[in-house]
Amino acid sequence: MTDLHTHAEDIVAQFSDHLDLTVDDVEERLDNLVNEYRVPVDEARRSVVNSYLDEAGLEREALGGGGNASVGLAEIDQDEQWLDVTAKVVELWDARSDSVAQVGLLGDETGTTKFVAFETSDLPELEEGAVYRLENLVTDEYQGNFSVKLNRTTTITEVDEEIEVGDDAETVEGALVDIQSGSGLIKRCPEDDCTRVLQNGRCSEHGSVEGEFDLRIKGVLDDGEAVHEVIFDREQTEALTGTTLEEAKDMAMDALDTTVVADEMRTGTLGRYYRVSGPQFGRYVLVDEFERLSDPVDAEAALIEARSI
């Protein structure tokens, strides 16, 4: 009973700006559903909220506060879940679409997740490195990956506290068995907010453009049990291969062919063992750190372990 009473109070508070409700009325409706019709409490609450939304002519999004989940950013595992978080803006990325106002990475103690704010929501801008209390975010899922969306009803309050962002980096290791096409010396679209990789000098969004050179490796690490697709960005590609972007451009210029760069990279890296770590996005681990596994194998230890298998 007290449970329903609490729910009723929450609902009244949620609608306080829109409807003049009494806790008793709300509790009675909840009680009817839960105790008379055997509806689970969550569902009952949802149903009652929906009916008040109708009454007030509101969208669910318009409801502020109350009842939002408090889940670690790295622990989000549901689509369309409403959240309140205190998080640090770890990175801001270039938005790739006009409808996106800001996109980047939010972090809390559990780790990081992508966030998107849309132009239409008309929100104040977040600053990289700052910590905010963000209320009324909603989670989104795409191909098994979760992100959070800011929306019109999101409240943003900068808070004066430091957050130690958790490390949710994936670490994978294995032999580098493939460097895929689209690796080596590539060109990216120079249009604002577009960093797409050009195919034959064409951007899939902006058509024929004068691209900007970049280096990357899309590789496959394989440990004999599983494969992991990994992406080395320019900095990591330079560290992995010892070839800088300028050197790669010179190589391509000499050969009148950009593919020599990837070929050279293959020769120097394929078949070697690496351990890499970084955040996972979609199918890829984005390499923040890597190490070549070049220590001699401890054959004696391997033998002791092997005999126990």
Partner 1 sequence: MSQAPTREVARRVFAREFNDASHTFKESDDERAPVYLLLPTGERANRVFLVGTLTEKEDVGEDDEYWRGRIVDPTGTFFVYAGQYQPDAASTLRELEPPAYVAVVGKPRTYETDDGSVNVSVRPESITAVDSVTRDRWVAEAATRTLERVAAFDDESNEYARMAREEYDLSVDDYRAMALAALEGLDETDELGADADAEGLDAQAEH
Nearer to partner 1, 50 or 259 (CB): 259
List the alpha helices (DSSP H) in 15-106. Answer: 23-31, 41-56
Helical (H) or strand (E) element with 302 = helix 299-308
The secondary structure of the chain in percent helix, strand, coil, rounded to multiples of 5, reads: 30, 35, 35
> Which C-beta is closer to partner 1: that of 197 or that of 220?
220
The residue among 42 and 225 lying less far from partner 1, judged by its C-beta, is 225
Q: Least distance to partner 1 from the beta carbon of 12, Å?
A: 42
Interface residues toward partner 1, by CB under 8 A: 143-144, 175, 177-178, 220, 222-227, 229, 263, 266-267, 269-273, 282-283, 293-297, 299-300, 302-303, 305-307, 309
CB of 270 to partner 1, least distance (A): 4
CA angle in degrees (0–180, nearest 5) for 240-242-247: 130
Closer to partner 1 by Cβ: residue 175 or 197: 175
Q: Provide the residue type at 106 as one letter.
A: L
Q: Tell the smallest beta-carbon distance from residue 115 to partner 1 (Å).
A: 22
Nearer of residues 38 and 307 to partner 1, judged by Cβ? 307
Which DSSP string do the residues of 173-197 spell out, in sequence order? Answer: EEEEEEE-TT-EEEEE--STT--PB
Is residue 133 within 8 Å of 89, Cβ to Cβ? Answer: no
Q: How far is the CB of 229 from partner 1 (least distance, A)?
A: 8
Q: Would you tell me how many other CB atoms lie within 10 Å of the CB of residue 91?
A: 13
* CB-based contacts of 290, cutoff 8 Å, min separation 6: 232, 236, 239, 240, 274, 275, 276, 277
Choice between 152 and 283, CB closer to partner 1: 283
Shortest Cβ 120–partner 1 spacing (Å)? 29
Least separation in angstroms between CB 222 and partner 1: 5
